[in-house]
Structures are given as C-alpha cells and as structure tokens.
Amino acid sequence: MAVIQDPGLSVTVQVDCTPLEEYDDPQPDQQNPADKGAVGVCHKYVEAKDGAQYEIRLEATPDQEWISKALDEDRVLRFLVYVDGDVAEKAIKGKAISLGTSLSPPCAVHRNASAPFRYAVTKAVDKHPYAVFTFYYRSKDALQSEMIILRTPSPEPAEDELDHLSQEDIRRLARERLAEVKKEKTVKTEAPGIKREHDEVFDLTGDSPRKTRRKRAKPETVGLTDD
C-alpha cells in the first residue's frame, strides 16, 4: 500500500476490488516534475494486464487535523487524479513500455440518501500539491526487464528418464550401446595407418600432371685401405 504518513493518506490501485501488489521504485531519488514542492511523495510500480479494468482507492486516517469534524467547517483537501498525463520522451527512453490506459465511459453513482454530503467551492492555497502518489504500471515482462521484479527461475531439470523405464528396456538399451562400442573398436582395428612414401615426383609442366617415381641413387663404396 502506498502510504504518506503526513497527511495520513494511502492510495491503492485495485482490480476487481483487490489491491494490486506494489513494488518499490528502484530509483526513489530520481526527480519527477510532478513532485516539485510536494511535502510527501510516494512512487510505486504495479503489474498491469491487458484489458483489465482498474480503480483508484484513497483512504484517509480519521485523526488528521485537516479532516473536518462537521459539514460547516471549511477544512478540505482537493484530490486530483491524472491518467498518464504528459510523459516526456526521455522519461521512457530505453524502457519496455508496452501498455497504455484510458478512462472508461462515465456512469451514474447512486448516493446513499442517509449519508451527509456537502458541495464546496475550493481554491488552491499553495501553488504545489501537498502530497503526490505516482504509480508506474508495467506488464510482467517489462517489470522483469527493468529489474523491478526477479525473472521467473528456470524449471528444475527433469528426473532421469531411466527411472521411468522398465528393467527390460534398460537391458535392451545397454545391449544396443555395447554393440555400438564393439563396432567402433572393430573399425579402428581394421583400418591401419597408411604411411605415404616421400619418393614420388609430380610433373606439373606438361598438359596434365603426371606422377613419376624418384630414382634412388646407387650407394658408392669408398676403399680406405689403398696406399
């Protein structure tokens, strides 16, 4: 729940009357133009799903001084809700933005006749808001891409398939593997290495290359006993 203790306000984004899970802003010190001059600031991320209808719920603690104790008192706060608003291009550059939002058609609200109410004309006392709540909505993939939430861990490796085989199947696979090993050994034994003699000469000057065998010189005998 996004809470600002002073002035005692909390805001939630809900879908089907259930508050969405909120995630802290990883860069809480990053300046937002809308926060300028505000006493309280709160930034949260929420996961959005395509086509889902949401609502914004605001709650105030009853022990705050600004809450009027009677209808004739003139202490009120005005709440403004902006959907997206003006978004600077540099604010979303490099981010995985894949969703947008829009307002639903207006509908009549049936007021409880027994609940007191009063219309009031207000004017801004300060130039800046007293408190600002900002919700950044992203798809799950975008939240993971921006490292807001952890990625889904890879599934654990499946159990060894041998555990699901019968003993007969295991013996059959063992026999097939043993036969493959014996075949590999036989091929290696029957294929001795061939040593290439280096006494061949290739004639490349003719019309087509010809191979001739180099003539070996006859050994000469030198007598060392002569005078």
Write the pLDDT tens digit of every residue in 63-89.
766 666 666 666 667 788 877 766 666
Q: What is the pLDDT of residue 23?
A: 92
pTM, two decimals, is 0.55
Residue 205 lies in a domain: no
**Which DSSP category does 144 fall into?**
H
Residue 30 lies in a domain: yes
Span 159-181, average pLDDT: 78
Q: Tell me if 21 is assigned to some domain.
A: yes
Task: Count how many residues are written for the chain.
Answer: 227
* CA nearest neighbour of 34 among 136, 121, 125: 136
Whether residue 143 lies inside any domain: the answer is yes
Answer whether residue 75 is part of any domain. yes
pLDDT over 90 percentage in the chain = 6
Residue 11 domain boundaries: 1-104+115-152
Q: What is the mean pLDDT of the chain?
A: 73
- Provide the 8-state DSSP code for 165: S
Asked if the model's pLDDT at residue 20 lies above 60, the reply is yes
Classify residue 167: in a domain, yes or no: no
The residues near 220 (Cβ < 8 Å, ≥ 6 apart) are: none
Question: What is the tally of structural domains in the chain?
Answer: 1
CA atoms of 96 and 144, how far apart (whole Å): 10
Indicate the pLDDT class of residue 179, thresholds 50, 70 and 90: confident
Confidence of residue 45 (pLDDT cuts 50, 70, 90): very high
Q: How confident is the model at residue 116 (pLDDT cuts 50, 70, 90)?
A: low
Domain contains 220: no
| DSSP letter (8 states) at residue 8 | T
